[in-house]
Amino acid sequence: MRDSQPLENGMLSNKIQTAINQQINEELFSAYVYLAMAAEADRLGLPGFSNWFKMQYQEELGHADRFFNYVLERDAQVELLPINQPEINDESALTLFEKALNHERHITQCISGLKDLAKSESDHATDVFLEWFVNEQVEEEANAQQVIDQLRLVDGNPNGLFMIDRELATRTAAPDA
Ligand code: OFO
């Protein structure tokens, strides 16, 4: 495998293979973060929030799976790296979603970095493959921001929190996660 340019037979360059394996790890870490958030929301007595985070956990596993399958499709090598422990302790409903938004902003940067790399390596297939994630990140940031806005609006009012919890309880896993 060459260091920079993709091979003629469709294999990934080493740089792209390494970067996508790192992204598989980022997505699995994302799943871990949301699973920790689901547990924390349950501890707070917010089953709807817990459900929302659990659904997001499943979506993140789906993201990892997309990258995993792509590496295999390109006849490259998957490397599964160690997953860090999420730092989710003594949170409130608001800090959970603020952390979720910050985390998604970080993932957006990762996807942008991958896009830049695909372009610099003239890997058009990877560039096109990443389009789905570019759009997904717009949605993920907007979803977290929407709940933050609602939480700021109710400002800790228990009735308001109860209403938001009921709404978040209705979230089901996205079919294309
Ligand atoms: Fe939350 O989008 Fe993947 O990581």
Domain boundaries, the chain: 13-82+91-168
pLDDT tens profile 71-110: 999 999 999 999 999 999 999 999 999 999 999 999 999 9
Identify the CA nearest to 63 among candidates 103, 122, 10, 93.
Answer: 103
pTM metric for this prediction = 0.93
CATH topology of domain 13-82+91-168: Ferritin (1.20.1260)
Whether ligand 1 lies within 6 angstroms of the CB of 107 is answered as: yes
Q: Which of 20, 57, 104 to mutate to test the pocket of ligand 1 (most atoms within 8 A of CB)?
A: 104
Q: Which of 53, 68, 107, 145 to mutate to test the pocket of ligand 1 (most atoms within 8 A of CB)?
A: 107
Identify the CA nearest to 135 among candidates 166, 174, 99.
Answer: 174
State what percent of residues in the chain have pLDDT above 90: 90
